[in-house]
Amino acid sequence: MPQPSVRAYVGLGANLGDSAATLRQVLAQLQATPGITGVTSSPFYRSAPVDATGPDFINAVAAVDTVLAPLALLDVLQALENEHGRLRPYRNAPRTLDLDLLLHGDTRLDDARLILPHPRLHLRAFVLLPLRDLAPGLAVQGQPLDAWIDAIHDQPIERIAP
């Protein structure tokens, strides 16, 4: 019997190289990944680094329908990061690609490799605004996205592409 598909949300970001081109390529790669279908992207946003230095980030969120378990999907995301030259010389270093599994259906997970829902997604404008573009009725930690967005109005972010 086939596995049921789950809607997952993936945060995409980059601030080294041609970030927008990298995100477009990764979206196509996700669509071509076995076990992932129906990839939909939010518009792209430009945001200043949070708790980090370096150039502005280009960010988006992708909604994917997947039969992959959370850790299997994480493995796919980390392989894509590595393929695009992601280095981790220190915490919050500038990066060619950053992919974060934000939500995987209703899964709650506290694993050494992955916490779901993502523990900081409600604190970041670069996640909340694109996530709202894809799922305006979504609630996180029992609150609608707009309530979280109201709380982070001081984080500069600009929508740059449809």
With respect to residue 1, please indicate whether it lies within any of the assigned structural domains. no
* pTM across the whole model: 0.93
d(CA 82, CA 141): 31
The domain containing residue 53 runs over which residues?
6-159
pLDDT in tens, the chain (162 residues): 567 899 999 999 999 899 999 999 999 999 999 999 999 999 999 998 877 778 999 999 999 999 999 999 999 999 999 899 876 656 666 678 999 999 999 989 899 999 899 989 999 999 999 999 999 999 998 899 999 999 888 888 999 966
In a domain, 49, yes or no: yes
Of 100, 124, 132, 133, the active-site residue reads 100
We report the CATH number of the domain holding residue 54 as 3.30.70.560
Active site residue 100: yes
Residue 95 annotated among the catalytic residues of the structure: yes
Q: Determine which one of 18, 24, 95, 132 is catalytic.
A: 95
Q: Are 126 and 33 in contact (CB under 8 A)?
A: no
Residues 70, 81 contacting (CB under 8 angstroms)? no
